[in-house]
């Protein structure tokens, strides 16, 4: 598959509300395909591939890897609202972890980072209803599943 095909396929599989997130085998295969494609000399799809790899890792609760992937995507394309949205969710999740462990200052810093990222997502795509949600509420819904 070409990098463009992998980017398109991963975008479709990782669309909001996709049932693919619940299929660990599909996510593992997609992760391998993306990792292989990132080695391709064609760099034009790397921001999408890094972002989608970050989304996979986020949903697998591999938060450190997800943050690295999403930051890589953001460095290559800082104008992608979906990358900012997932960074917001990630920072809100980290804020919640710090809050539960009594690290108030660290928690507040993560929630501030989440607010900045969701603000950027909203600015880039103001009509996207998903980005109008509060990242804290999103992670509460995820944890309530």
Same structural domain for residues 69 and 95?
Answer: no
- Sequence-distant (6+) residues with CB within 8 A of 48 are 7, 10, 11, 73, 77, 80
Domain count, the chain: 2
Structure confidence by residue, pLDDT tens digits, 89-131: 999 999 999 999 999 999 999 999 999 999 999 999 999 988 9
Matching residue, tokens 């509060």: 134
Domain end, chosen from 52, 78, 104, is at: 78
DSSP output for 90-111: HHHHHHHHHHHTT-HHHHHHHH
Same structural domain for residues 136 and 88?
Answer: yes
**Residue numbers of the domain that contains 83:** 79-145
Same structural domain for residues 92 and 55?
Answer: no
Structure confidence by residue, pLDDT tens digits, 68-97: 999 999 999 999 999 999 999 999 999 999
CATH number assigned to the domain comprising residue 18:
1.25.40
Same structural domain for residues 11 and 63?
Answer: yes
């Amino acid at each position: 598959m070409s990098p463009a095909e992998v980017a398109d396929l991963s975008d479709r599989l990782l669309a909001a509300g996709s049932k693919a997130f619940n299929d660990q085998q599909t996510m593992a295969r997609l992760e391998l395909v993306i990792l292989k494609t990132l080695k391709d000399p064609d760099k034009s799809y790397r921001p999408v591939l890094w972002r989608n790899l970050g989304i996979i890792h986020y949903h697998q609760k591999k938060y450190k890897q997800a943050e690295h992937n999403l930051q890589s995507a953001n460095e290559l394309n800082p104008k992608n609202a979906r990358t900012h949205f997932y960074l917001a969710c990630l920072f809100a999740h980290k804020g919640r972890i710090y809050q539960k462990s009594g690290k108030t200052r660290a928690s507040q810093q993560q929630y501030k980072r989440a607010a900045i990222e969701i603000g950027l997502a909203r600015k880039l795509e103001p009509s996207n209803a998903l980005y109008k949600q509060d990242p804290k509420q999103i992670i509460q819904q995820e944890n309530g599943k």
